A = this chain, B = another copy of it.
Amino acid sequence: MRDYQAFLAAAAALLGERGLTTDPDLVGPWLTDWRGRFTGRALALASPADTAEVAALVKLCGEFAVPIVPQGGNSGMCGGATPDDSGTALVLSLRRMNKVRAFDPAAHQITCEAGLVLQTLHETAEREGLRFPLTLGGKGSATVGGLISTNAGGTQVLRHGSMRAAVLGIEAVLADGSVFEALVPLKKDNRGFDLKQLLIGSEGTLGIVTAATLRLVPAVAERRVIWAGVGSLHAARKLLLHCEAAAGDALEGFEVMPQVTLDDVLHQLPTARAPLASPHEWHTLIELVAGPGGEERLGEVAETMLESAFEAGLLDDAVVSANETQAEAFWLIRDSIAAAERAKGPAVQHDISVPVAQMPAFVETAVPLVEAAFQGTEALAFGHLGDGNVHFHVIAPAGVDPAEWYAGEGKAISARVYDLVTQWHGSISAEHGIGQLKLGELERLGDPVHLALMRQVKQALDPQGLLNPGKLVPLASPADSF
């Protein structure tokens, strides 16, 4: 039997009044994920002030066998930061640790604590003519630690990679309370296993990220956003290859959506206008970006790229943003898809990837297959074609009871989609992670050798199983349950 009272007393002594609370009004908001899918209970909410406090707290949790649920902005998509309903876990918030420790604009590097909010990071970089090349809808709440722990994606992965590519150094507290320090970025270092990589994307199951050194890039001096209509997703893929060859590193985004999705958005956003005069089977949103000094050339690159695409018959119609207002109007359409679809009724959403070259064929196979198997549903794919990552949404038939549908047909649809994507050598989680939402599916569909290896690593680094239990790492069997 764990002595929770003794633990709480020791934790309170360690962290002080600002650092620990059991007040339900203060703890409550952090027990449900932002999408409202998961609600748990917790012993308390800890908000340590620095890495030393995190380390001491983790050590204490080890002594009392108290599970730890690390939490950043609590805006993840898979319930990875929500405790289970046992009430035995401590929610460890990193939000108080939000300092910028060092900023070297000349070297394009910033070292900050895990609780720094993405929006603040953007603003900090901008003040020095730089930018952090990753953004996403939850930027007002998402923290650096959460972005690292989930290896977050977004719309700039095509050019800049996922969060992993932006992390130059890391500091983390391990399960035994020791501090893994690798913040000083060395461009070359071959002194052994790249342990930093193991912590990135591990959703707090191997260690708690407390700080990071991140890579910045020059601010955007000029951009061109192009909206182009094409006849099929295959045609979109051909256009992507053309843009990659013609624009090179200037190509920062390549998003796709079908006409029906565009219609849904226009229906929901009465002030928005269709970018092109007539309908097209598929629409592509292409962003070209230039840093300081590249402004003039960018217009030329965009023009040449589009002209040659027209000549080669790679697109049916296209328009280039004439100014920032228009560029933002194009992106507003893209960013409003999720809301527009929510308005259509209950839907199951799948963040999946397959090899980029396979994506058109996959979507053309999966859409009719799902719609035929589940009568009355509507399947839609949109998103980051350049990354081989689409968001595959299936909207419920009209008139269903939402709760009943989610629990029944919705689950069956998701299983079918994940079966299919696995057959296509793809991923059941492209950018949102596993958390608790997809743990069962990962266990069901994951490669046994990969899962065994994950368990071995987890067991080695967290033998007590106290770091974010029930997330990401499928257990070997229920008997192994922590």
Contacts and interface: CB of A to CB of B under 8 A. Distances in A.
A461 interface: yes
A151 B425 CA distance: 26
A201 B197 CA distance: 12
Contacts of A355: 107, 184-186
A434 interface: yes
Contacts of A285: none
A241 interface: yes
Interface string A155-167: 0011000101000
Given A178-B449, A190-B434, A429-B191, A198 B198 contact: yes
Interface stretch (A35-43, A276-284, A367-375, A452-460): A452-460
B357 A107 contact: yes
Contacts of A434: 190-192
Interface in A146-195: 150-151, 153, 157-158, 162, 164, 174, 178-182, 184-195
Interface string A399-434: 000000000000000000000000001111111111
Contacts of A188: 153, 157, 162, 353, 384, 387-389, 427, 430-431
Copy count, this protein chain:
2
Contact of A106 (B182, B241, B453): B241
A291 interface: yes
A472 interface: yes
A198 B194 contact: yes
Given A197-B198, A456-B460, A389 B353 contact: no
A195 B454 CA distance: 8
A31 interface: no
A180 B461 contact: no
B187 A389 contact: yes
A354 interface: yes
A442 B192 contact: yes
**Among the interface residues A184, A187, A245, A246, which one has the most CB atoms of the partner chain B within 10 A?**
A187
Interface string A128-160: 000000000000000000000011010001100
Given A452-B178, A453-B195, A473-B192, A426 B186 contact: yes
Given A197-B197, A472-B192, A425 B202 contact: no
B187 A457 contact: no
A153 B186 CA distance: 13
Contacts of A387: 187-188
A366 interface: no
A162 B450 CA distance: 25
B446 A191 contact: yes
A405 B194 CA distance: 35
A473 B181 CA distance: 18
B473 A187 contact: no
A388 B187 contact: yes
A430 B460 contact: no
A356 interface: yes
A450 B192 contact: yes
Contact of A427 (B107, B153, B189, B446): B189
A249 interface: yes
A189 B429 contact: yes
A200 interface: yes
A384 B186 CA distance: 13
A467 to B, nearest CB: 13
Given A178-B452, A180-B450, A354 B186 contact: yes
Given A192-B442, A193-B202, A194-B164, A186 B450 contact: no
A459 B457 CA distance: 10
A236 interface: no
Nearest to A447: B181
A140 to B, nearest CB: 22
Given A186-B354, A191-B446, A193-B454, 12 more contacts: A180-B450, A180-B453, A188-B387, A188-B389, A188-B427, A188-B431, A189-B353, A189-B429, A192-B446, A297-B297, A456-B460, A460-B460
